[in-house]
Amino acid sequence: MLLLTVAVPSQVAGSPANAPVDWTTMNANQDHTNYVAQSQIGASDVQSLSLAWTFPFPAAAPHVAGLSVVGQGSISPPLVVNGTVYLVTNYLTVYAFNGETGAVEWSYPAVLNTTGLPLSPLTGHMHGINYYKGDIWVSLPDCSVLGLNALTGAVETRITDICKNVPGNSGYYDSSGVPPVFYGDTMIWSSSVSEGTDVGRGFVAAYNITDGALLWRWYVTPASGGDPNWDANSCSTNSTSTCHGNVAPYPGDWGKLGTTTTVNGTAYQVLAGAGPSFGDPVVDAKHGIVFVSTSQASPDWNGTYRPGPNLYADSIVALNATNGNMLWFYQTTPHDLYDFDCGWNTVLGNVTTGAGTQEAVFKACKNGYLYALSALTGKLLWYFDPPTVARSLTGNANYVATGNYSATQPWINYPSTKPFEQCPGENGAIEADIAYAYSMIYVATMNFCTFGQVSGVNIEGAGVWGVSYLSPDFAQANTTIYAVHASTGTVAWSYSMPSIPYRGWLTASNGLVFAGALDGSIHILDAATGREVYDLYVGPSLYESPTIGSGIDGQVFLYQLTSASAYGAFSGGVPGDLMAYTVVSPPQPGWEGYAAPVAVGILAAAVVFLIVENRSLRRSRV
């Protein structure tokens, strides 16, 4: 018997048999973990990543009526849904790209209507978009929301004038570009306020997406004029509420914000406040809770006219998704004088101890601390203070460690008005999304101190922050990425990047952690050990990390943005690109690939036939 074996090429990575890999929210999924499951790009083949396509953003951003400053490029995490990549630019155009080729499938250039709205000067600075029920959802700077059909780009939902006639507001709103999140047919939207003395009354609003009806609002600060009992009244502990928090009520909190005061015979407008942060809220659909993080108290560095802890700035807040009632709050920096907002992602996960497993909220803030809180009660489960982070002149930010804060300190180095050095600086010690995977929290921390000098806050303006001559200390900058056990807050490993600060996010997938950095590289680390598996050099300073998803045929790509970094010592004036990387698979052989082995097989068969035939002839002769 002759057995012929023919080698058949294995199925290539991009075959339809591969399950689709989607990245559907700013932070990958509904729990905002920045983790995606896939098996094509891993430690064994990540060195084979190569550039598949590039979409360059225009060098001159298109003019957008209503924007005071039109931003270049994009800083929005690309979404990937059913093989299509979605992105919003800082010039307010939403794109849909073919995930395999980069071809534009559709684009939607937004048009603003700022008439009659209390808006600060608006800048193009869009933090992201979300996908929900077949639509791409984007929040625009004019306090409006669009739901665009993911297949065609057609407008299916439009809710406008969200900031109009807000009760108790005497200030202005601006543009953070944070998309809405959803609980069933309820859309939950976050306002954005400035960091200066024109700050509006920040709020979270919920709308029914079927008819656009307003369902509820929750306010970060009291109404204009102030409320001496704001802290006690806004978190009532009566029999119909279970609201509670970690900071005690302070009579007269926030002072008389939004009203005039007289100093040496001159009347001044006193504006202070806070709003939701630029980090997207996250929804626990099982319990009907939406978790919101909030911004710093404004004006940032001068708290003369805002005594008290300034609830609920710098906080993680749990709201009933049905009615907006506050369930609990956890304030991270009472009476913030340093711009230490709690931006970036809020993550849902689990903590396991001897008492069992409980649902948790993980949150990192600019003060440099990483927090794990009970999702249902707000109780502090653990906190992580990175040992590499230097701290100077930021006492209130250490509240979780000390239990103390000053409610009346006017500014950072009071009573001096001389220049100071603040550590962490204006960009904080954590200015990035965390990733949650493999029972670990991955967090990028940095030392990036700031020199500054206190200034007055007696005039109204978006840029009146109570500080002048801000100058980052680039010479001492450095970054450390930590892997922290999600159940204990203890360190598993750390990875250092000398000489550069860090901004953006971390991505986890297939046993790897991806960190796009200002040195122009995507540092790809082993998620279990922190060992650098590969350094994928992109070139420009990276202000973002990759998102991960598959094309329509199942091939997995890394989608990496390049853009102008706000850390100007490293780059500037760069319109940027969207770049797609993938592992190069061996090509499917054509006939030429099979010709040689088939010819050898035929030749071998012929030789065997001749040998057998020759033996038969010899036997017949005998």
The DSSP result for 541-580, as a single string, is: PPSS--EEEE-TTS-EEEEEEE---SSTTT--S---EEEE
Residue 16 pLDDT grade (very low, low, confident, very high; cuts 50, 70, 90): very low
| Average of per-residue pLDDT values in the chain | 89
Q: What is the pLDDT of residue 61?
A: 87
Is 240 within the bounds of a domain? no
Q: Which residues in 1-36 are b (16+ Cβ under 10 Å) and which e?
A: eeeeeeeeeeeebbeeebebbbbbbbbbebbbbbbb
pLDDT at 374 over 90: yes
How far apart CA 559 and CA 126 sit, in angstroms, is 18
Is 605 within the bounds of a domain? yes
Q: What is the pLDDT of residue 569?
A: 53
Is 615 within the bounds of a domain? yes
pLDDT at 119 over 70: yes
How far apart CA 92 and CA 112 sit, in angstroms, is 9
CB 52 within 8 A of CB 582: yes
The percent of residues above 90 in pLDDT, for the chain, comes to 78
Q: What is the pLDDT of residue 267?
A: 60
The total domain count for the chain is 1
Residues near 88 by beta carbon (within 8 Å), at least 6 away in sequence:
74, 76, 94, 95, 126, 128, 129, 138, 177
Q: What is the pLDDT of residue 408?
A: 97
Task: Collapse the DSSP code of 209 into the 3-class scheme (helix H, G, I; strand E, B; otherwise coil) and give the result.
Answer: coil
User: Tell me: the pLDDT tens digits for 523-563?
Assistant: 999 999 999 999 999 998 899 999 999 999 999 999 999 98
Q: What is the pLDDT of residue 19?
A: 79
Helix (H) or strand (E) holding 620: helix 591-621
Peptide bond into 424 cis (omega under 30): yes
How far apart CA 597 and CA 612 sit, in angstroms, is 23
Question: Whose structure tokens read 């939950």?
Answer: 188
Residue 458 pLDDT grade (very low, low, confident, very high; cuts 50, 70, 90): confident
Q: What is the pLDDT of residue 586?
A: 47
Question: Whose structure tokens read 């710098």?
Answer: 314
pTM: 0.90
C-alpha distances in Å from residue 342, one per residue of 142, 282, 333, 395: 23, 14, 9, 17
Q: Which residues in 492-521 are b (16+ Cβ under 10 Å) and which e?
A: bbebebeebbbbbbbbbbbbbbbbbbbbbb
What range defines the domain where residue 618 resides? 591-622
pLDDT at 380 over 60: yes
Residues facing residue 156 across a β-bridge = none
Is 64 within the bounds of a domain? no
Residues facing residue 84 across a β-bridge = 81, 98
CB 313 within 8 A of CB 334: no
User: Tell me: the pLDDT tens digits for 123-160?
Assistant: 888 999 999 999 999 999 999 999 999 999 999 999 99
Q: What is the pLDDT of residue 261?
A: 59
Looking at residue 476, what DSSP letter applies? Answer: G
Strands laid side by side in the 104-109 sheet: 79-81, 84-88, 93-98, 104-109
How far apart CA 31 and CA 36 sit, in angstroms, is 11
pLDDT at 353 over 80: yes
pLDDT at 208 over 70: yes
Task: Collapse the DSSP code of 465 into the 3-class scheme (helix H, G, I; strand E, B; otherwise coil) and give the result.
Answer: coil
Residues facing residue 328 across a β-bridge = 244, 318
Range in 225-229, 320-324, 506-510 with the lowest mean pLDDT: 225-229
Is 602 within the bounds of a domain? yes
Other C-beta atoms closer than 10 Å to the C-beta of 251 total 11
Is 597 within the bounds of a domain? yes
Residues near 589 by beta carbon (within 8 Å), at least 6 away in sequence:
9
Closest Cα to residue 112, out of 74, 75, 150, 141? Answer: 141
pLDDT at 390 over 60: yes
User: Tell me: the pLDDT tens digits for 271-298?
Assistant: 899 999 999 999 999 999 999 999 999 9
pLDDT at 602 over 80: no
Looking at residue 414, what DSSP letter applies? Answer: T
Is 548 within the bounds of a domain? no
Q: Which amino acid is at 433?
A: D
CB 267 within 8 A of CB 165: no
How far apart CA 313 and CA 299 sit, in angstroms, is 12
Q: What is the pLDDT of residue 532?
A: 98
Region 241-266: mean pLDDT is 81
Is 613 within the bounds of a domain? yes
pLDDT at 414 over 70: yes
CB 592 within 8 A of CB 49: no
CB 476 within 8 A of CB 547: no
pLDDT at 606 over 60: no
Range in 36-45, 380-389, 497-506, 603-612 with the lowest mean pLDDT: 603-612
C-alpha distances in Å from residue 141, one per residue of 114, 203, 480: 9, 15, 34
Q: Could you tell me the two tokens for 455?
A: 């200034």
Q: What is the pLDDT of residue 71?
A: 85
Region 368-385: mean pLDDT is 98
Q: What is the pLDDT of residue 69?
A: 87
C-alpha distances in Å from residue 1, one per residue of 605, 611, 613, 614, 618: 11, 13, 14, 16, 20
Q: What is the per-residue DSSP string for 13-24?
A: TTSTTSPP--B-
